[in-house]
Structure 1
Amino acid sequence: MNDSIPQLADCLLVLENNIATLTFNRHDVRNALTSTAIADDIVSTVEWINKTADVAVLVITGAGSAFSSGGNIKDMAERAGDFAGDVQELEARYRQGIQRIPLAIHKCEVPIIAAVNGAAIGAGFDVANMCDIRIASTKAKFGETFANLGLIPGDGGAWFMQRVIGYQKAAELTFTGRIINADEAKELGVVLNVVEAELLMDNVMTLANEIASKPTAAMRLTKRLMKMAQRTDLPDFLDICAVFQGMCHNNPDHLDAVNVMLEKLAK
C-alpha cells in the first residue's frame, strides 16, 4: 500500500500503522498556503485517503516553527502571485486555489487530527478548525487575523470556527483579529488539549492509534454521520443511521469485534 502514496511537492506524507501523517514542509515561508503547493498536496492526500480503505486516521502538522502562517503577506503587499488581478481574477483564483482546501478536508472520510506545533494564523488557523480534533503544543498561537489586513476569511473560516466554538466566541476572535496562546485556545474550546512541544506528536499518535484500532469501515461511516448530523433533520438522519447500521452489521469486522468483546467478558 505504501507504493500508492502520492508524490507531493511541498508536504511530506507518511503512512504507518494505518495512520497517514501529512506534514506541511515549507518552513522557509512558515508553511504558507498561498504561493506554495500545499493546497494541491492537501487535495491529493485526501483523494488518496478516500480511495485507500485501510487508512484509518489523518494527522496534519507543520515542519519548523509554524503550523501555517496562512496567506503570503509579501505577495499581498506586492499584489503578486495568488493576490494579483482584478475582482474577477481573484474570485476565480480563490475558488480554484485555497478554497479547494476546505472542500477537500470536509470530504475526507477518516478522522483528522491537527497537531498544531506552532503558529496557526489566518488560513492556517482555519485549516486547524477544519480538522475533527486539535491538539496544540505550548508553542502554538492562533489568530483569525484577516480583519487586521482589511480582508475577510476567504477560505471559509467563518463557516468552520463558529461550528467549533460557537458564534459569539468566533465573532469576537474574527472581529478583533487578536492572537491567542494555546492555553486560551483550550479554554475557548479551540483545542482539545495542550502539551509540551516535545510531547506533541507522541500525544497525537496515542490518540490516533486508539482511533485506528477501531474497525475502519465503521469509523468512516461514523465520520460521515457526524458531518451529516450538522445539516440533516432528525427523522432523515435516523433513516440514514438505520442504513449505515445495517451495513455495519454485515461487515466481518463487526463480528470480529463482537467476538473479541465476548472473549474479554468470559475471562
Structure 2
Amino acid sequence: MAEISLTELAVLVVEPSSTQRRIINRALENNGICSIIEADSGEQALTLLDQEEPDLVISSLYLPDMTGTDLVHRIRESKSHPDTPFMLISSETRFRYLDPIRQAGVVGILPKPFTDAELNTALSTTLDLLDENPMEMGELDADALQVLVVDDSPFARKHIARILGSLGIQRIDQAENGLHALEMLNQNFYDFVVTDYNMPHMDGKELVDHIRQQSTQSSLPVLMVTSEENENRLAAVHESGVSAICDKPFEPSTVRQLIRQMVATTD
C-alpha cells in the first residue's frame, strides 16, 4: 500500500470499558478515521486481527484476559501480522510497566486523557510506517548508508530497522548487545550506529565510551534510542560523546532529522 491517508486507516480499538471506547472512537473520528473495529479483550482482538487485518491496533494496558504488553508481544510473535503498528492508551506511568511496551516497538504511548495533538502525532507515525514510499533524506544517499542497530530486544531491533527502512536505508546490520556490536565494528565500517542504553554484558554508554576511546572509528556518529528516564545516567551518556538521543517511542521524521544532522556533521 502506498501513500495511505488517515481516512483509509482501519483501526482496531481494544478497550474493556464501553465509555472509554466511545471516547477513543470519537477522537479517531475527529482525526478523519472512518473504519473502527472494536474489541473488549485481548483474545477477541487477536481473532479480529486475523479476520479484519486492521492497519493499527490501539489498546488499553489492562484487559480482562491479558495485558497490553501480552497483546503486543503476541502480535509481534505472530506469523501473519508481526509488523502491525501498535498504540497504547493508558493512565499507567510506572516505568516497569511501560518499558516492555516501548521495547516491543510502538507508534505511541498516550496518557488518559490524551490530547488531539498526541493522537494525531501517533497516527502520523503510523502513516509513515505504512507508506511504501521512503521519506526523503535530502542530500543524503540513503541507499549508500550502512548502519548498525544495537538492542537486546529483537522486537526493538526489528522496529528500528523498519523505521530506517521507511527512510530508504536498507544496509542494516544488527547486534544484540555492546559486545556483539564491537565484533561487528571490528569487521565493518558503518556510517552511523543506532543503540539502546540498557543492555546486558555491555550497555549503550559503555559502547559509546569504547567507540570514542578505543575504536578505529572514534568519530562514528551514534544515535541512542532509549526509554531510560534517569537524568544522571542520560547526562553521563551525553558526556561520553553520543551524537544524539531519541526517546522510545519515536517518530520517523525525528529520526530522519537526527540522522541528517549526524551524518552531515561528519562530512
TM-score, normalization by structure 1:
0.29
Greater helix content: 1
TM-score, normalization by structure 2:
0.29
